[in-house]
Structure 1
Amino acid sequence: MKTSKTIAALLGLTCVCVTPLLAKEGEVASPASKTISGSVKEGQAKVQIAILLDTSSSMQGLIEQAKSELWSIVNTFNSAHKNGQAPYVEVALYEYGKQSLNSESHWQRCIVPFSRDLDQISEELFKLNTNGGEEYCGAVIQRAVEDMKWDEDPNTYKAIFIAGNEPFTQGPVNVTESCQAAKKKGVYVNSIHCGNQQAGVQGGWNIGPVVAGGSLLTIDHNAAVAHIDAPQDKIIIQLNVELNKTYIPYGKMGAQYQTRQTTQDANAISKSSSGAHVKRAVSKASQNYCNVSWDLVDACKQEKFDWSTVKEDDLPEAMKKMTVEERKVYVAENAKQREAIQEKIRKANEERLAYIAKVRKELAGEGKNTLDKVVVETVKKQAAERGYSFQK
């Protein structure tokens, strides 16, 4: 059947989390999203990325790359800065080209509107399945441009990533017009062709980059992502186990979301051959990973957090009999432990990256283009054009 596509969810920094309204297959999702909590600092820049995934039959290899390399892409922004501080990142996730989707919406749906919930994005990626369908790039680009609330600041980094190998011009919506609409909003359109560049150009995959200033990227979507084992890997994984103990679920969904956290840890471990479990742990030690909607430690860091609004029934058993002051102390102790563990993970990761850089230098010239590599390189280049800097 038709092949295709794309990316993996990425990024985040600071604690501005949203809970999206999801659509089932065959339904049209609302682009609306509810901001749970979190405040943006004065002068803090934003990053917005929409990821458009083709889930037609031949797409399984690319989906596997996306599952494996989500955390590599997320970690791209761990060291990003603009206006002297880290930007906060919003990600939207779409799928298209699958037969079970709604024909009236041109075989596409919004899985997650702009969101900061990395566990949810990981969860949705692992739910994805494929079957035959029609891949209409122009239609899904149009929808992403129109649905999402793109930032009006021309210096905000805004990008669409769409991948596949069927002709880019298929479908009832003119893809050039869709890309022109993206350009008007200052949105890069990056196309990822699964195959060689010549075939990509012949299939029109260069239209997005030409019209909207993005990049034409090519990958081997069936290649296994290579992982370089480092001595620090085991240390980081053990620290992640300790890190999880510092989370304090609260609210009606707290326990469920904590279970989701451990499930996504397990999903990453299932991709350990690509190092996904290590990279996820590194993400959890960064500003990217924020759970203000269900974790008291993250929630208490918010300026408008009010203990009086937290009901006893919404607390874990260990905290129900505590006074408010005792609860504050308990949360503060967990916050301190978390910060110490996260710092250990960051330090171990610095040593890990230095080790990997050394090994890669010795293996220079080896390896194929895979999803993480082309997306990370493109994001850094385009964000730099908008004034974002990355530590080397």
Structure 2
Amino acid sequence: MKNLKNILVMWSMFLLCSSLMACKNNDRSKEIDFVENASNQEALKNLHGPKTNKHFIKVALLLDTSNSMDGLINQAKAQLWEIVNELSYAKCGNDRPNLQIALYEYGNDNLPAREGYIRQVLGFSNDLDEISEKLFSLTTNGGNEFCGEVIETSLKQLDWGNDRDDLKLLFIAGNEPFTQGNVDYRDAIADAKEKDVVVNTIFCGDYDQGISGMWQDGAIRGDGDYMTINHNRAIVHVVTPYDAVILKLNSRLNKTYIAYGSRGIAKMELQSAQDTNAASMNEEVAVKRAVSKSSRLYNNSNWDLVDAIADKEIAIADLKEKDLPKELKGKSEKEIKSYIEEKRVERAKIQGEIQSLNTMRKQYIATKQKEESKDNLEAVMIQAIKKQAKRKNYSW
């Protein structure tokens, strides 16, 4: 009887620990209601919640940049921000996971043959401006697409980490047989499973053709989803009454950033350049980017004083005169602190207004867009991410 009692006590402790460590499902309806009323600094603070470094959503994009893939690259450029916006709502228990995105290109004859026509464009990064910049730098040419090799390369080069609660997703997109190259895709995917990385395949073309090309088999072996898209389909955006206001707020938002350090000015210019890149695709893409910039995932503590002070990346007392922007040179520590706080409050208010407008914008789109297209990069990726996140009890 004593042994039985001890076993029951140990089992109860195990269940308690498991419930504390695992991600828990949460009802997001309250958060949506809250967003609608977010109009001040305190509201935005509560909306975003405390910053956490505990969990990550890690997404590696492996994009075919051979001659026929211009449409795929254009969809990636246009739809990055909506994917980011959806991921900004993710929860892991009471935590909000950080997002990291890595980018590879393969199948481009401009890349070194000795490296399998593969290039790491960007390792795992949470710098959304840098991710956008790298996407817009991609060009297409030629075509030797080695899927197994690019999967294996990304597994070796990227830091996937060891946290079993992290959501680790690999998306490979292309339109040639999955079996090409010297690395067997089955071996590469077996390595992925050892690292707890889910492999998703996106075939750009006919569903049955992708199956015969073993793209579906790759997804099955990788515990992921097999998806097909029409990569040449023009993206249809719904114009809403809220777009112009959001874009004006975005211009005001940019003025709340305080560049510091050796990289500050260059990073601020990069921010502006990616606004321009988004607008060059479509006004609605620029709106979606503005929404991303109002989310918790858009953090620039490595060059912006508002984020840096909030994240305790640097102390005002440690700032050197040469690292300060011209508007703060010669100012006292008290004056600098007051200026940063003023910008922080202003930014929080603007971000809250953008989030509130975006809630109404999404409701407007829902009434106008009765049947949403499901054969584009954004739609299939978001669907797969949410489905696979549920396995680890992530919620939205």
Equivalent position SS for 1:238 = helix
- Note the 1:349-368 alignment, pairs <5 A: 349-361=358-370, 364=371, 367=373
Aligned residue in 1 for 2:357: 348
Distance 1:52 1:67 in 2: 14
Structure 2 match to 1:372:
378
Matched, 1:121 2:131: yes
Aligned to 1:181: 191
Matched, 1:102 2:128: no
Paired residues of 1:45 and 1:83 also in contact (CA < 8 A):
no
Match of 2:250 in 1: 240
Q: How far is 1:303 from its partner?
A: 2.8
Distance, in Å, in 2 between the alignment partners of 1:262 and 1:381 is: 34
Is residue 2:118 matched to residue 1:112? no
Structure 1 residues 105-254: aligned runs within 5 Å: 105-254=115-264
Supply the RMSD in Å over aligned alpha carbons: 1.4
- Rate the CA distance shift 1:172–1:40 in 2: closer, same or farther, 3 A: farther
How far 1:244 sits from its partner (Å)?
A: 0.4
Say which of 317, 322, 346 aligns to 1:313: 322
Structure 2 residue corresponding to 1:383, chosen from 375, 381, 389: 389
Report the Cα distance in structure 1 between the residues aligned to 2:55 and 2:266, rounded to whole angstroms.
32
Distance 1:321 1:154 in 2: 49
Q: Distance in 1 between matches of 2:88 and 2:334?
A: 34
Residue 51 of structure 1 aligns to a residue whose secondary structure is strand
**How far does residue 133 in structure 1 lie from its aligned partner after superposition?**
2.8
SS at match of 1:171: coil
User: CA separation in 1, counterparts of 2:246 and 2:273?
Assistant: 18
- For 1:93 and 1:294, locate their aligned partners in 2 and report how far apart those are by CA, in whole Å: 22
Q: Is the 8 A contact 1:220 1:368 kept in 2?
A: no
Matches of 1:176 and 1:289, distance apart in 2: 36
**Which structure's residues are more often helix, by fraction?**
2
Cα distance, 1:308 vs structure 2:
3.1
Q: TM-score, normalised by structure 1?
A: 0.86
User: CA offsets, 1:282-320, max 9 Å, x none?
Assistant: 000001101111111111112352223321111111100
Residue 367 to residue 46, structure 1, CA distance change in 2 (3 Å): closer
**1:65 alignment partner AA:** Q
Aligned partner of 2:47 in structure 1 is none
CA distance in 2, matches of 1:311, 1:151: 35
Query: Which stretches in structure 2 are left out of the alignment for 5+ residues?
Result: 1-49
State how far apart, in whole Å, the 2-side matches of 1:67 and 1:41 are: 28
1:283 corresponds in structure 2 to: 292
Deviation at 1:89, TM superposition (A): 1.2
Q: Give CA deviations for 1:3-50 in whole Å, capped at 9, x if unaligned.
A: xxxxxxxxxxxxxxxxxxxxxxxxxxxxxxxxxxxx9637x3211111
CA deviations over 1:137-176 (Å, ceiling 9, x no partner) = 0000001111112122223211100011100010010110
Moved more, 61-70 or 295-304: 295-304
One-letter identity of the residue aligned with 1:209? A
Please list, as runs of the form range in 1=range in 2, the aligned pairs for 1:52-71 lying within 5 A after superposition.
52-71=62-81
Identity of aligned residues (%): 43
Counterpart in 2 of 1:24?
none
Residue 339 of structure 1: aligned partner:
348
Task: State the partner residue of 2:52.
Answer: 41
Name the SS of the counterpart of 2:104 in structure 1.
strand
Letter paired with 1:89: L
Cα distance in 1, alignment partners of residues 326 and 373 from structure 2? 51
In 2: Cα distance, 1:319 partner to 1:139 partner: 51
Which residue is equivalent to 2:332? Answer: 323
8 A Cα contact 2:219 2:225, kept in partner: yes
Specify the SS of the correspondent of 1:338.
helix
How far, CA to CA, are the matches of 2:317 and 2:344 in structure 1?
Answer: 20
Tell me if structure 1 keeps the 8 A contact 2:316–2:336: no
In structure 2, distance between residues paired with 1:367 and 1:210: 24
1: CA distance between counterparts of 2:322 and 2:312? 23
Q: TM-score, normalised by structure 2?
A: 0.85
Is residue 52–residue 96 contact of structure 1 (8 Å, CA) maintained in 2?
Answer: yes
Contiguous gaps of at least 5 residues in structure 1? 1-38
Supply the distance in 2 between the matched residues of 1:48 and 1:306 (Cα, whole angstroms). 30
Task: Give the CA deviation at 1:272.
Answer: 1.4
Matched, 1:75 2:75: no
CA contact (8 A) 2:301 2:313 kept: no
